[in-house]
Amino acid sequence: MSVTITPTMVGQVIVSGLLAGALYSMVALGLALIFGVMRVINIAHGTFLMLGAYTTFWWFHLLQVNPYLSLLASMPLMFLLGVLLQRTMVSRVVDAPELSSLLLTFGLSLALVNLTQLLFSSDLRSVEYLTGAFLVGPFALSKSRLISFVFAVSITLLAFWFLQKTKLGKAIRATSQSSEVAMVCGINVERIHLYAFGIASALAAAGGSLVAVMIAIQPEMGQVFTLKSFLVIVLGGAGNYPGALVGGMLLGLVEQLSSLFLTTQLSEAVAYVLLVLVLLLRPSGLLGGRAR
């Protein structure tokens, strides 16, 4: 009782995969940034995404602000929250053994998720803004996903431009490559850490704002994005920023194609099998390790 797979269907899921992948890339870039600069795996990354989604929801719900416009609120807000948390807590564990930072960010994530539950309850919320699809020939392009894709790609490109061309971006990359040498060259590494955590949180928040228009919002929605981002940066090469892009797109495509050719149940398994294969065959990720 299944269906014959036609080229049109493959085309449709490739489109869906790319639309999802761009979002994964953007969110994972944040995780990669924190890992690259501080060697910290931020388990609370998805939590920032969730908070971004709630920001969009409340702006839309209470003030009727266009959800895409609310990126202008969610990103700076989460940037500030990220900087605050980095300054007060995460900075204490940057050079500590890895377990400390894992525990700290895990704890932070629990605290923030529970606080959100307390404040906003665990009821599902949604931003009913753009539903439906553009019909292009045999393909249906979800309006909300298409617009999210455009935003995700633009924000990611902007982040890359920032990392490549600006002085601060260069300093961030220098710190990724070697924080000792960066320090010797006169870069204020602690300050770079603040920026990196802030920018990463803003990227997650952008993901949240865009996701808010696509799926229902609830306090635990971030966890799956933390996991996926982790998968993406390992696939692409931890700490390698272009790797996050490739990894995100790859994850989106693999998920969709395996759901099509196998079943939705198996698609998660396929993504993790891919992860194991990459770890076995190219442990430094598809594009290699450290950031350049």
Partner 1 sequence: MMRYHDRPGGLVAVGVVLLALTSGIGLWASPAAAQNPIKIGASLSLTGTYAALGQNQNRGYQLCAKHVNEQGGVLGRKIEFVLYDDQSQPATGVRLYEKLITQDKVDAILGPYSSAITEAVANVNEKYKMPMVAPMASTTSIFKKGRKFIFMVQSPAEVYLEGLIDVAAKRGLKTVAILNEDTLFPKATVQGTIDLAKQKGLQVVFVEAYPKGNTDFSAVLTKVRAANPDVLAASTYFDDAVAITRQMKELNVNPKMFGVTVGGDLPKFYELLGKNAEFVYGATQWEPELPYPGANEFKDAHHKEFPGADLSYHAAGGYAGCRILADAIKRAGSLDGEKIRNEILKTDTSTVYGGFRVDQDGFQISHKMVMFQWQEGKKVIVWPDELAAGKARFPTPPWSQR
Q: Does 277 bind partner 1 (CB under 8 A)?
A: no
Among 42, 70, 179, 259, binds partner 1 (CB under 8 A): 259
Residue reference for tokens 């292009």: 136
Kindly state the smallest distance separating residue 237's Cβ from partner 1, in Å.
25
Cβ-based nearer residue to partner 1, 86 or 144: 144
Can residue 114 be called a binding residue for partner 1 (CB under 8 A)? no
Cβ proximity to partner 1, 171 vs 254, nearer residue: 254
According to CB under 8 A, which one of 66, 114, 131, 154 is a site residue for partner 1?
131
- The DSSP code sequence of 158-212 is HHHHHHHHSHHHHHHHHHHH-HHHHHHTT--HHHHHHHHHHHHHHHHHHHHHHHH
16 contributes a contact to partner 1 by CB under 8 A:
yes
The CA distances from residue 39 to 66, 100, 133, 197, in Å, are 37, 12, 41, 12
Sign of the alpha-carbon dihedral angle for 13, 14, 17, 23: negative
Binding mask 197-236 for partner 1 (x = CB under 8 A): ------------------xx-x-----x------------
Instruction: Say whether residue 181 binds partner 1 (CB under 8 A).
Output: no
Taking the complex as a whole, the smallest distance from the CB of residue 265 to partner 1 amounts, in Å, to 5
Q: How far is the CB of 126 from partner 1 (least distance, A)?
A: 5
Name which of 35 and 60 has its Cβ closer to partner 1: 60
Is residue 124 at the binding interface for partner 1, with CB under 8 A as the rule? yes
Alpha carbons 25 and 242: distance in angstroms, whole number: 9
Q: What angle do CA 140, 220, 215 make, to 5 degrees?
A: 15
- Exposed/middle/buried for 121, CB within 10 Å: 0-12, 13-18, 19+? exposed
List residues binding partner 1 (CB under 8 A).
Answer: 1-6, 8-9, 12-13, 16, 20, 123-126, 128, 131-133, 135, 140, 142-145, 215-216, 218, 224, 255-257, 259-260, 263-265, 267-268
